A and B are shown apart, each in its own frame.
Chain A
């Protein structure tokens, strides 16, 4: 799996958009970008995934650069419940069942 780099921590004001960056310069053509989050020792929660097009669901938006070497997860209107560690993971769909969680970004939403 491609290695990812994320900032260790970020703050965001409640109600504002939280933009979490991820660098994955060694991503391969068949690898997707996945985002998960973990709220204080709870089970990790799947957020979104994408290959090369921007994606949006009820939780977040994922913006992937044209060269696919980086991406940004956007939480459009952050709430206090979005305080968590966010993990960017790059992996192929098939052939590797392991989810490699790095150290992630600890996002703190400020009231």
Chain B
């Protein structure tokens, strides 16, 4: 089984809809991250969490919210989706005490019409 899983893997939705992307990990890592990737561009950090009670904004958090339900689960929500949120979304984890290397999930391809 994959260490970092994301659901759904693909989603098509309409403008204005609320969408939740979920991430689960079995690596036992405390740190979790959400990134988005646009075609031909690098990854941009949306939110990150060091533990269940710690949530931090990344560089592009506007229009997004997150929930850290447990050490192993970190969800990303788009409260009212808009077309420029169409992107590939990645969840990542990182161990505390390591060298901050990050381990990524397979991604969710989101299309907002």
Interface majority SS (helix, strand, loop, mixed), chain B: strand
Q: Which residue of A lies closest to B105 (CB)?
A: A43
Tell whether A34 pairs with B101 under 8 Å between CB atoms, given A98-B58, A100-B42. yes
**Chain A facing B: main interface SS:** loop
How many chain-A residues does the 8 Å CB contact rule pick out? 21
In the complex, the answer to whether B101 meets A43 with C-beta atoms within 8 Å is no
Q: How far is the CA of A32 from the CA of B4 in the complex (A)?
A: 25
Pairwise interchain contact A103-B42, C-beta atoms closer than 8 A: yes
In the docked arrangement, what's the CA distance between A32 and B45, Å? Answer: 19
Please determine whether B90 and A44 come into contact, CB atoms closer than 8 angstroms.
yes
Q: How far is the CB of B98 from chain A (nearest CB, A)?
A: 9
- Which residues of B, 37-53, contact A by the 8 Å Cβ criterion? 42-43, 45, 48
Residues of A within 8 A of B33 (CB): 97
Which B residues contact A (CB, under 8 angstroms)?
4, 31, 33, 35, 42-43, 45, 48, 56, 58-59, 88, 90, 92, 99-107, 109
Interface residues of A, Cβ cutoff 8 Å to B? 32, 34, 41-46, 49, 87, 91, 93-94, 97-104
